[in-house]
Amino acid sequence: MSFLSIEFACFFLILHILLYAFRDYKKQNVILLLASYFFYAMADIRLLALLFGISITMWFLGKKIYETGNRVFLITGVLIDVITLGIFKYYNFFVGSIFKLAGNDYTALNIILPLGISFYIFQSISYIADIYMKKIDAEEDLVNVLLYIGFFPQITSGPIVKANYFLPQLKKERVFCWNNIGDGLQLFCIGAFKKVVIADHLAVAVDAVYATPAAYNSVSIIFAIIAYSLQIYFDFSGYSDMAIGVATTMGFELGKNFNLPYLAENPSDFWRRWHISLSSWFRDYVYFPLGGSRKGRFKTYFNLFVTMLLSGLWHGASWAFVFWGLLHAFLSVIHKMFCDITGKAKKGETKTTFSKILSIIVNYFCVTILWIPFRTNSMSDALYILRRAFCFSAGVNYINDFCIIFLILTLIIQTYALVKNNGNNPVKPLDLCLLRNKVIFIYFIIAAFIFAYIGNTAFIYAQF
């Protein structure tokens, strides 16, 4: 069930009527669990059993970890999660690669990729890990664990919410008020605008050029590369805004998932701004357990490299994603080494305006080039596009107007954020008690309907 559908609008309305009718938070949790499972079953009811099985297993292991403190139960839970993810998402990739190295043919198995498995598996690991690290107590109420792992707004594409952040919200009265509904609907509409007006219009040019790069000249390919960097940002941040907005209307906080990532000055800064929930998950459950930066420089570089490489592999089962993660790992380690050698990592360091802008441009260039294998899913195709882009290739000249319009819009927003808000996202919900703000909000919704691209509602990160 897509957020951008009549079915979801009806689902959303009925759910809020029920939540308003039953004010007790425990009853609301049961309603939300049933609603979440219905939402998931609409995609493929067969895979609901896997989600339920993982959730109830983590609930049982969480109790054992809390009672005994035995690390064996934690390792067992992590292995179950990793093996499950490996079978459904990576089996054909790994086995096929082994067969190929051995020079043998391999017929891929027809394995269904469960919707949102990469996201709910990580949340289930967060649950048992937080119990082991004594950040939370084990849940006696099974409903809370089932709802935490299967909460419908973010199960398909995140944000990934840590157990110690979300579970306490399930155990207190949630305020059902018009302020929450107003703020949540504004976030939802902003996210929908990003998706259907910006990302989907950009997708037309990106899809055309990436489908047949040999037909287009270098300038057209460069514009398509830039357009994809904008498309993936507005597509994914748009989904995140919608998910956070839906949760906000029900009194939940999911946290922030994007903060103008193309204003990042270095690789570390980029990952503090892009897919924040995933970056913080890898930091807390991979980087820190490996030792973080506590065991010397070489171990720090190794831990950082492994963390970034796994982040790349998480995104997809292909060598292109491995290569994408590998290059991001190299960039992150090189930046860390540069900071250690030059002492640039000191707090309170100030940069000149020129050096800051130059850092942003260089970092954006690196990130945008690395989006190419991410989009193609093939290293050979990625290298071919790179050659076509930077070798003055002849071909059809196709510069999409929307690419220019939204590039200028992005630059204006980022410049304003840099000057007025220290590089942070300046967009805040309006106070809808004021008539002026109500008029602005209504005009925004009308603009979204007028300029929406009809024909593509699939979200990029839903495939992961």
Tokens coding 423:
């590089």
The letter for the amino acid at 361 is I
Quickly count: other Cβ atoms within 10 Å of residue 200's Cβ.
23
Q: Helix, strand or coil for residue 431? A: coil
Tokens coding 67:
């009672």
Strand partners, 396: 216
Distances in Å between the alpha carbon of 390 and those of 372, 383, 403? 13, 11, 19
Asked whether the CA dihedral 253, 258, 263, 268 is positive or negative, the reply is: positive
Tokens coding 131:
């119990």
| Angle of CA points 104, 110, 112, to nearest 5° | 135
Active-site pick, 201, 315, 328, 335: 315
Closest alpha carbon to 256 in 279, 225, 282? 279
The letter for the amino acid at 204 is V
Residue with tokens 């998402």: 89
The answer to whether the beta carbons of residues 341 and 298 sit under 8 Å apart is no
Residue with tokens 């989009």: 375
| Angle of CA points 70, 72, 74, to nearest 5° | 85
Strand partners, 216: 396
Our answer to whether residue 16 is catalytic in this structure is: no
Closest alpha carbon to 160 in 62, 61, 236, 75? 236
**CB-based contacts of 129, cutoff 8 Å, min separation 6:** 74, 78, 163, 285
Tokens coding 142:
């099974």
Residue 139 has phi, psi (to 5 degrees) of -85, 125
Which residues are catalytically annotated? 315
